Amino acid sequence: MPTESFFSDASLAFFASTESAKEGTAYSMKPTDGSGDFTFTRGSNLSATYVGKDGYIKKGYENTIIGSNDFALDNSSYTITNGEAGYDGTNDAWFVNKLLADNSYFRKDGLVYTGVMTISIYAKAGTLDRLGFITAGDYVVFDLENVNAYKLGGTPIAQTIELVSGTTDWYRCSMTINKSTTTNLLMKPVDNSNQNASGTIYVQDIQLNEGLVAYPYLETTTAKAINALTDNEPRYDWLSGSAALLLEPSRTNIIQSSEYFDYLLNGDALSLDYNNLLSPEGYVNAVKCTPRAVSALNRLEYQATLSIPKTYTFSMFAKANGYDYFLLRFVGTSAGSVNASFNLTTGEKDYTSSGIQSTIEPYANGWYRLSVTISVTSSLLRTFFRPQPSAQLDDSIGTYTGNGTSGCYIYGLQLEQDATYPTSYIPTYGTTKERLADSAIASVTNTTSRTYYIEGSRLSDENYASSNGFYDPDDNLAITFWSSNRLRFRFGGAINDYYTLVGNDFKIAISYDGTDCIIYINGQEWKTRTFTLGNVSSIRLQSSSGAVSFNKTLYFPTALSYDDCITLTTP
């Protein structure tokens, strides 16, 4: 690529790379002494997601159970000892010997449930082959002989038993619940009639994490364990197929439960089957949504009391399952009742009502992210969504009769306030979550003449000014994204130039010879601005003026020629 050929002439070179990041730093390739590295800030690690190289969404999680592999017990009912061969090749499994045929349990105390959460444990049969879980009124039994998990009481969302890869007799047993309380988890082996019995079983590694599925095990001792981006770790996103530094403004997902949908108004026309398919994050936590064989509106409804008048963006993920079409409908907007219809097979928009904006974006394994931006004027916003056997090509909505098998898969609801576009997915499990803004800044040493180069992709526009792009404390030079697909070039805090970007990708060079700033964009010389460019002490990449992904940034201590700038910026 042309930018690599200019590498030797640059005094600062940043190429996005997943290997060039740690907490608080996005490494530049040049200089190599660290003086040109970008200092990175964001915060809110569990709310910050990105798309990995494998195409799946990456999000953080915690194991909140303290002492996750400590089951030691010796009393009149149990003797539990460590040192047995485990599922993972260690000798860290526990031998559970239930001495009496009574109703006694071994337990983990003080579990804190904060919404949709999954409890998991690894287990192997001994002389007994069933293990019961009881917590917060929910009761599930895992049958290690017949590889089955079933509910005996309460209202668990799901229960799962899976053979551990590489073993023939170890299983991971999981129960998903929706509770908000602090309580204990009671466990006991039972016989094949689920009755109290004496006997043995093996267990190892218990975990409690938010979400509909058990994530890879994290060991804890005296504190919870976290697997996530650190608070200020850069996000290198692969949604476009190559690594890019993802920078977004602060946003909150207003929807309190983004992956569990039983709280939505349903009307009994749709069946929801949890943990049915690989979701956009690569785990089996997508929800199968199937209209029943009755004549009905066949829709789910989310209601929210909102601040008005404001602009909101709703987004969600959907995948076809027999029905190719999907409808989003909103009641309470400035345009009245509006629709957006999508084709989940072709990835195209079929219809968008006047006065709103919609997008459809492909993700891995046939998933699409759908979004609609609306101006909300009613304090009660009603959002409807449903799979359809045909496209919706107007603002109406009617009933249809499902066949009981066709429908779609859904995942990841999100509603953002003061938003003209959707930002990266913010998962929620019972409360709203905020992801803070990204910012990266690197110091540069000025020369009389110099050239700035930046390459990336416009993900969105915003309608307010901010320091995004090249920036110094005096706003001597700044590039931001503005409304109507325009790049805004700001000189000295007062002089503004606007360039209308065609498409999303940009390559920009500003060559300064001590008198004139010549701006080149996507292989063309665009404008000359006679302006004394003073001390620009830093290059700042920031997101508060619209989401941006940056691929490359270069700084040259000389004014590059016309030919070099054309070569450098040509797509």
What is the pLDDT at residue 464? 42
pTM over 0.75: yes
What tokens were used for 118?
């999954």
pLDDT at 544 over 80: no
Output the pLDDT for position 467: 44
pLDDT tens track for 360-419: 999 999 999 999 999 999 999 999 999 999 999 999 999 999 999 999 999 999 999 999
Residue type at 288?
Answer: K
Lowest mean pLDDT among 56-70, 270-284, 490-504: 490-504
What is the pLDDT, as a whole number, of residue 71? 98
Residue 471: band (very low, low, confident or very high) from pLDDT cuts 50, 70, 90: low
Per-residue confidence band for 466, with pLDDT thresholds at 50, 70 and 90: very low
Mean pLDDT value across residues 165-191: 97
Average pLDDT for the chain: 92
- Please provide residue 9's backbone torsions phi and psi, each rounded to the nearest 5 degrees: -85, -15
First to last CA, the chain: 9
Q: Which of 375, 364, 547 is nearest to 462 (CA)?
A: 547
Helix (H) or strand (E) holding 3: helix 2-5
**pLDDT at position 472:** 52
Q: Which residue has the tokens 């946003």?
A: 251
pLDDT score of 21 more than 70: no
Q: Does residue 253 contact residue 191 with C-beta atoms inside 8 Å? A: no
* Torsion angles phi and psi, residue 8, rounded to 5: -65, -25
Rounded to whole angstroms, the Cα distance separating 250 from 306 reads 18
Mean local confidence (pLDDT), 465-473? 49
Confidence category of residue 470, pLDDT binned at 50, 70, 90: low
Domains in the chain, please, with CATH?
A: 2-55+438-569 (2.60.120.200), 73-225 (2.60.120), 252-435 (2.60.120.260)
3-state secondary structure 44-60: CHHHCCEECCCCCEECC
Query: Which pLDDT belongs to residue 302?
Result: 97
Q: Which of 474, 471, 358, 362 is nearest to 421 (CA)?
A: 358
Q: Give the tokens for residue 390.
A: 């045909």
pLDDT at 19 over 70: no
DSSP state of 9: G
Distance separating alpha carbons of residues 458 and 481, to the nearest angstrom: 8
- Tokens read off for 275: 């943990």
Alpha carbon separation from 12 to 56, 62, 247, 444, 450 (Å, rounded): 32, 38, 20, 8, 12
Q: Per mean pLDDT, which range of 19-23, 279-283, 441-445 is the poorest?
A: 19-23
Q: Is the pLDDT of residue 121 over 70?
A: yes
Beta strands in 49-157 (DSSP E): 50-51, 57-58, 61-63, 73-74, 78-84, 93-98, 106-125, 130-135, 138-143, 148-153
Reported as half-sphere exposure (CB side, CA atoms, 13 A), residue 50 has a value of 23
- pLDDT for the residue 20: 58
What percentage of the chain reaches a pLDDT higher than 70?
A: 96
Distances (CA, A) of 380 to 330, 361, 386, 431: 11, 28, 20, 19
Q: Give me the mean pLDDT over the 225-252 stretch.
A: 90
| 302 close to 262: Cβ distance less than 8 angstroms | no
